[in-house]
């Protein structure tokens, strides 16, 4: 059975991106610090065509996040550009260059229709304008039995949580206070969502908490 | 030199009590939800230490 999985770095005060996201600061002010633990890992560097890096308790966690993923779902704000709106000259192709680290079909939730964009390395961006359920349906078809990865950002994760469509949530909790920004769990607290703890792993500069979502 | 320490229970979404704190529900709404589904970690599942 194909699952919808989300693995995301989060500050100790509950933000997955800092305030004032911009072209220079796609993760908002201070947001880069959320990913320091990952960027230092050999496992992450390899998947982003970079050399070197560490092996530590986060390595297995990182490898697991990349396993058995057949397709992805992403919000428009995460895909960019900052500010959203219609696609203009259609030159914008995400933050991740010509060969993005996804290597499968990624379904972007947007209010603005656009033809699919095929990138190098097996990534194709599809633009879905008929809602989160349809995006998930299409991603599951594309995943062909493998899991679907929900990449973010906060708003889209909150929507999938509130709709009871997320199966697994892993938080990489980083000892950083951002004070403001994109807050996870906003407006989903009153919904009937139960979390079952799967595991907790302590690693340098981060704690990994994994939950099964029960509805 | 003595240190100032804080240790407390908190929900995953960052609350230390639920909404609507009253004399009957000093930890706010949410404790009853915990009792209804004991095996789950609810959004608010704080037990007062008294």
All structural domains of chain B with their residue ranges = 7-50
Q: At CB < 8 Å, which residues of chain B contact A?
A: 12-15, 37, 39-44
**Which among B12, B14, B15 has CB closest to A195?**
B12
A41-72: burial string, b at 16+ Cβ within 10 Å, e else: bbbbbebeeeeebeebebbebbeebeeebbbb
Sign of the dihedral defined by the CA atoms of residues A83, A86, A92, A93, in that order: positive
Phi, psi of A130 (to 5 degrees): -110, 35
Both tokens of A34, joined, read 């959320």
B6-48 per-position pLDDT tens digit:
998 888 988 888 888 888 888 887 755 544 444 444 444 444 4
Task: Please tell me the pTM assigned to this model.
Answer: 0.89
Looking at residue A99, its pLDDT comes to 95
CB contact under 8 A, A185 and B43: yes
Domains detected in chain A: 4-214 (3.40.430.10)
SS (H, E, C) B24-42: CCCCCCCHHHHHHCCCCEC
Angle formed at CA A157 by CA A98 and CA A107, multiple of 5 degrees: 35
């Amino acid at each position: 059975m194909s699952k919808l999985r989300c693995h995301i770095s989060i500050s100790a005060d509950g933000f997955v991106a800092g305030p004032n996201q911009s072209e220079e600061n796609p993760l908002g002010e201070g947001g880069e610090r959320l990913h320091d633990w990952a960027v230092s890992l050999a496992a992450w560097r390899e998947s982003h065509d970079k050399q070197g890096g560490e092996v530590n308790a986060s390595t297995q966690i990182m490898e697991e996040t990349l396993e058995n993923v057949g397709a992805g779902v992403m919000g428009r704000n995460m895909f960019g550009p900052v500010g959203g709106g219609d696609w203009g000259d259609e030159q914008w192709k995400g933050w991740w260059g010509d060969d993005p680290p996804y290597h499968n079909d990624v379904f972007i939730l947007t209010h603005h229709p656009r033809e699919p964009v095929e990138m190098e390395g097996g990534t194709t961006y599809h633009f879905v304008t008929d809602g989160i359920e349809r995006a998930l349906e299409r991603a599951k078809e594309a995943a062909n039995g493998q899991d679907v990865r929900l990449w973010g950002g906060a708003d889209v994760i909150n929507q999938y949580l509130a709709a009871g469509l997320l199966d697994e949530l892993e938080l990489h909790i980083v000892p950083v206070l951002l004070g403001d920004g994109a807050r996870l769990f906003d407006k989903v607290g009153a919904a009937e969502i139960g979390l079952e703890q799967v595991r907790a792993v302590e690693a340098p500069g981060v704690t990994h908490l994994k939950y099964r979502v029960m509805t | 030199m003595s240190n100032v320490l804080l240790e407390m229970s908190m929900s995953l979404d960052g609350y230390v009590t639920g909404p609507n704190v009253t004399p009957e529900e000093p930890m706010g709404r949410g404790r009853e939800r915990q009792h209804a589904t004991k095996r789950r970690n609810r959004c608010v599942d704080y037990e007062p230490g008294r």
